[in-house]
Amino acid sequence: MRYQIAGCSASAPGLALILAAALKAAAALILVSACEVFQPGGESLKQFEQSTPADPVAADMIKPRTPEAAAALKQIGAKLEADRMNAKSYTGSDQQIGQYYSHKAAELQFLKNQLESNQAISKHQLSEALDNKGVLEYGGTP
């Protein structure tokens, strides 16, 4: 049985990979959102970030509506299209590689949605989502 998610077709194992990535990203978002609201002592993290611009957590985030976010959206858009095309092209010949690319496309779509919803994303998450070296495990080329 095949399922359609974010414009990509996936089998049950592929769907499990996509859902696992979405849950992982959602958990990270919840943590980031919680950190934005509360800070020990009652201060909001946004106030804290303004007073300490060298904060390593703030430095690891891409904030929406910035030139950095615009560049990230361009990268995401190009890679998202390529991963979706790869997923479709491998669906019949090598399902594991097709599912891998579907999973990567779902990660990229999630990050794109976050930026478009005016929410910050992690540079580390973006880097991992853009990296397709994991396809080597299935005999593909990045």
The secondary structure of 54-91 as a DSSP string is T-HHHHTEE-TTSHHHHHHHHHHHHHHHHHHHHHHHHT
Rounded-to-integer distance, Cα 79 and Cα 95, Å: 20
Q: Residue 90 is encoded by which pair of tokens?
A: 């491998």
Query: What's this model's pTM, rounded to 2 decimal places?
Result: 0.60
Domain range annotation of the chain: 2-133
Q: One digit per residue, pLDDT tens: the chain, 142 residues?
A: 555 555 555 566 665 666 566 556 555 544 444 443 333 444 433 433 443 445 556 789 999 999 999 999 999 999 999 999 999 999 888 999 999 999 999 999 999 999 999 999 999 999 999 999 999 998 888 7
26 neighbors 87 (Cβ within 8 angstroms): no
126 neighbors 60 (Cβ within 8 angstroms): no
Rounded-to-integer distance, Cα 12 and Cα 72, Å: 31
| CA-based nearest residue to 116, from 87, 92, 80 | 80
